[in-house]
Structure 1
Amino acid sequence: MQVTETLSEGLKRELKIVIPATELAAKLDSYLDELKDKVRINGFRPGKVPAGHMKRMYGRQAMAEIVSRTIQESSLKAIEDRSERPALQPDIDLADDEAQAIIEGSADLAFKVIYDLLPQFEVVDFSGIELTREVVEVSDEGVMEQVEAIAANNRAYESKGEGAVAQSGDRVTMSYVGKLDGVPFDGGADENGQLVLGSGQFIPGFEDGVIGMKQGEEKVISVTFPADYPAANLAGKEVTFDIVLKDVAAPGETKIDDDFAKSLGLESLDSLKDIIRGQIENQFGAMTRQRVKRQLLDKLDEVYSFDLPSKLLETEFQNIWNQVENDMKRNGKTFEDEETTEEAAKADYRKIAERRVRLGLVLSEVGEKNKIEVTEEEVQRALFERVRQFPGQERQVFEFYKNNPQALATLRAPIYEEKVVDFILSLAKVTDKTVTKEEMQKLVAEDEDKDESAAG
């Protein structure tokens, strides 16, 4: 095997590998010699088939397999001998017009191996990274607010009787039919619909039209759907509703005590409070994690600057861009609607791809150097969580991931990333800062606005 480096620019490498035809011929003879003891051919005893006959029958197919295997093995060995780490699977360039002569044994096997190297960089001292971790302290008052909200949603209502007038706060039972240009539209009718007046659950104007109606009264009201209503055929359109008010019920008093908790299937009010406290802590704990991870990645993005493997970058960019185009097509949007151009949008998304690839390489290097691994148990937990998202299709989803290594890798990757992030956070200087729920929600909203701006 003769290996010649034909390109070395930045991270790009290109090797020319030549395997003499005599070496391929020797491999073919050895292959056919082993094969003759296994095949059964009429007129010949096992193991006694002449070499020439074997070559005529199986030579071309065998040589094609040998060439394919030789290309793979020699490529890997050439790169290993150079102690290089390709960013992705190398590309193989074999001229089509030479393939026939190679298989026939009349030409040497000559091909090119093209690949990008993984960039080399020093892992920084993470103890020098300073981060602020906003933490929401769950107060007794905040827990009680949630308890009261649950009580409000589970409040009992008592009918006000014949002739009762509907007022804000009452729960009405009614039948209604929505019409557009006098024709009923899909999803606009109900025989025994219930609505708490003042809850804002229906489109603007509907509840105002019901307030003041008497039990048993019939009425036609006109309302206009919001311009951004999801159903395009109704968005911004004026419609009418034929309403028959069947019942008006006033809200009853809900006493928040152990009996109320028991009505929800819990042992006591304290049990309910504990559950709610845990839910709030989980909700805002996730926000805390999201915030501090974002800060860390921003810091790493500032610290590291190195050339990126072009193919890896292009693959990431194409994944992002395909999603962008699919989203725009699905929503019927154009770049002009977003007040930009395709060229400007591509430039913005390429920067996002660069950040993702760079940070991905950094986290991968940190994880590898510190021997961070994902256990099979962790992957199994992620798999079962994924399966639970498809009720009724559990077996099919489970089999899909089990039989598809690439799909299984998509479950392993985020676990690995989180473990590396945890490792870095354990070394960084992290200062906790107590904030209110409202402050945390505002910070997260600001992050989301920045993401949208960064995405054009």
Structure 2
Amino acid sequence: MQVKETQNEGLKRGYQFTLPAADLATQVEAKLKEAQPEVEMKGFRKGKVPMALLKKQFGPRVMGDAMQEAIDTALKSHLEASGDRPALQPKVEMVGGENWKEGDDLVVDVTYEALPAIPEADLSGVELERLVVSASDEQVTEALENLAKNAQSFEDRKKGTKSKDGDQLVIDFKGSVDGELFDGGTAEDYPLVLGSNSFIPGFEAQLVGAKAGDEIKVEVKFPEDYGHPALAGKDAVFETTVKAVKAPKAAELDDELAKKFGADDLEALKGQIRERLEAEYQGASRQILKRALLDKLDTLVSFDLPDSLVEAEAGQIAHQLWHEENPEDHGHNHGEIEPTDEHKKLAERRVRLGLLLAEIGQKNEITVSDQEMTQAVLRQARQYPGQERAFFEFIQQNPQAQQQLRAPIFEDKVVDHIVEGAKVSEKSVTKEELEKAIEALDQL
């Protein structure tokens, strides 16, 4: 294989590989001889098919395999010898294309952008500030009261009392469209909390002010996008009987409440709540610390960036932001979204930091363990209840999906490694000050 350099500008590389026709023919011959003992063909015993007939029957396919193998081997050898690491999959084009015929040399053009050499980053002078928030007794009590609301019960109101939002009605109902009852439109002793918006729009509002024993004809219209096409957009009537009106009663802040949430007693539940709140604060504090670290790393070193990586990242940013601004559009038939200068600037930062963190991680032998990957897959699978097995199989068969899970874990481990060696001071702040700092991140 002959290799000729055709481009070497910045990070852009170009080479022309030439495999002599004789070498290619030798490879094809070797592959056919290897397969000959197992070949069966009408008129010949197994393994006795003449080479000339094998070439005629299987030559083109074997030639294609030999060509691809030769190109892959040549490219691998070149990258090992040059030390280049392509930013993206190299582009390989066969010279001559459809005009190539057996007996011609195989000539291919290979182009790619090489990853840059990353300068050594001096991390010894990195100074960071960690915000610390302790959960106050008031915050614990507030969270405890919210739990009590979730554990609320309902008690019968006095006979003749009109219902209001927040009350629970026990009702029987029969729903009909065009005078005909429909499947799923009938129930008895159904507990409905007014204001919960658990029924179609307009239903609950017509029951506000109802008393036990009232019979009400609830008239509503199913939404146009209702899940059952036969009912979508249709007018419906629900013959409804109110059997009871119940007032909400928050659970008592006592040991019984604690036991409902798996704690031994109220003090133990308070302790769990305090730990959960402070874990949330620590998570927010870490986001702020990480952003501050990345800002510092962004100024530590300078190096050329592969245009292909920046363009790809800018395209992803533009696409993601477009969908955030147009949440009603869940498809991808919106045409090409042109990245702005702001998108490209953000893409440059992300690519630069990504390459720098990857270099730091590699030099410090930081890896993502199988256990960490398994935990990440389990966390992600919980978002697809009932489809966990299908999700696991998808991840196993999709290297790109595996990389998408692995990348943030690796990045966080590298960040933690840098923080461990940095000078980190702590600053006590209030919950409100922490929230303002988090809001400031979103505005950057």
Q: TM-score surpassing 0.5?
A: yes
Residues 394-451 of structure 1 show CA distances to partners (whole Å, capped at 9, x for unaligned) of 211111112222222222222111111111111122112111112111211221233x
Aligned length: 414
Query: Match for 1:361: what amino acid?
Result: L
Query: Match for 1:350: what amino acid?
Result: K
TM-score, normalised to structure 2's length? 0.79
Contact 1:161 1:247 in 2 (8 A): no
Classify the secondary structure of the residue corresponding to 2:371.
helix
* Superposition deviation, residue 210 in structure 1: 9.9
Matches within 5 A, 1:301-380: 301-328=298-325, 330-331=327-328, 346-380=340-374
The one of 268, 277, 281 equivalent to 2:278 is 281
Q: Which runs of 5+ in 2 are unaligned?
A: 174-186, 218-224, 227-239, 331-336
Classify the secondary structure of the residue corresponding to 1:126.
coil
The one of 248, 254, 258 equivalent to 1:257 is 254
User: In 1, Cα distance between the equivalents of 2:44 and 2:253?
Assistant: 94
| Residue in 2 that maps onto 1:454 | none
**Distance change (3 Å), C-alpha of 1:316 and 1:24:** same
* Superposition deviation, residue 326 in structure 1: 4.3
| Residue in 2 that maps onto 1:194 | 193
| Residue in 2 that maps onto 1:70 | 70
Q: Which moved more, 1:259-268 or 1:373-382?
A: 259-268
Query: Match for 1:149: what amino acid?
Result: N
User: In 2, Cα distance between the equivalents of 1:23 and 1:208?
Assistant: 83
Identity level (%):
40
| Residue in 1 that maps onto 2:146 | 149
Does residue 405 of the first structure (1) align with residue 399 of the second (2)? Answer: yes
Does residue 391 of the first structure (1) align with residue 390 of the second (2)? Answer: no
User: In 2, Cα distance between the equivalents of 1:58 and 1:212?
Assistant: 84
User: In 2, Cα distance between the equivalents of 1:210 and 1:81?
Assistant: 79
User: In 2, Cα distance between the equivalents of 1:193 and 1:49?
Assistant: 80
The one of 407, 411, 428 equivalent to 1:417 is 411
User: In 2, Cα distance between the equivalents of 1:371 and 1:24?
Assistant: 41
| Residue in 2 that maps onto 1:25 | 25
User: In 2, Cα distance between the equivalents of 1:276 and 1:19?
Assistant: 70
Residues 18-52 of structure 1 show CA distances to partners (whole Å, capped at 9, x for unaligned) of 11112112222222222222212344455554433
The one of 113, 121, 124 equivalent to 1:116 is 113
* Superposition deviation, residue 331 in structure 1: 3.4
User: In 2, Cα distance between the equivalents of 1:166 and 1:27?
Assistant: 87
TM-score, normalised to structure 1's length? 0.77
**Distance change (3 Å), C-alpha of 1:263 and 1:68:** closer
User: In 2, Cα distance between the equivalents of 1:29 and 1:209?
Assistant: 85
**Distance change (3 Å), C-alpha of 1:150 and 1:93:** same
The alignment yields a C-alpha RMSD, in angstroms, of 4.1
User: In 1, Cα distance between the equivalents of 2:343 and 2:131?
Assistant: 29
* Superposition deviation, residue 306 in structure 1: 2.1
Does residue 293 of the first structure (1) align with residue 290 of the second (2)? Answer: yes
User: In 2, Cα distance between the equivalents of 1:35 and 1:436?
Assistant: 75
User: In 1, Cα distance between the equivalents of 2:320 and 2:51?
Assistant: 56
**Distance change (3 Å), C-alpha of 1:140 and 1:200:** farther
**Distance change (3 Å), C-alpha of 1:51 and 1:437:** same
**Distance change (3 Å), C-alpha of 1:297 and 1:34:** same
| Residue in 2 that maps onto 1:4 | 4
Query: Match for 2:193: what amino acid?
Result: Q
* Superposition deviation, residue 309 in structure 1: 1.0
**Distance change (3 Å), C-alpha of 1:2 and 1:352:** same
User: In 1, Cα distance between the equivalents of 2:155 and 2:65?
Assistant: 82
| Residue in 2 that maps onto 1:431 | 425
User: In 1, Cα distance between the equivalents of 2:62 and 2:168?
Assistant: 81
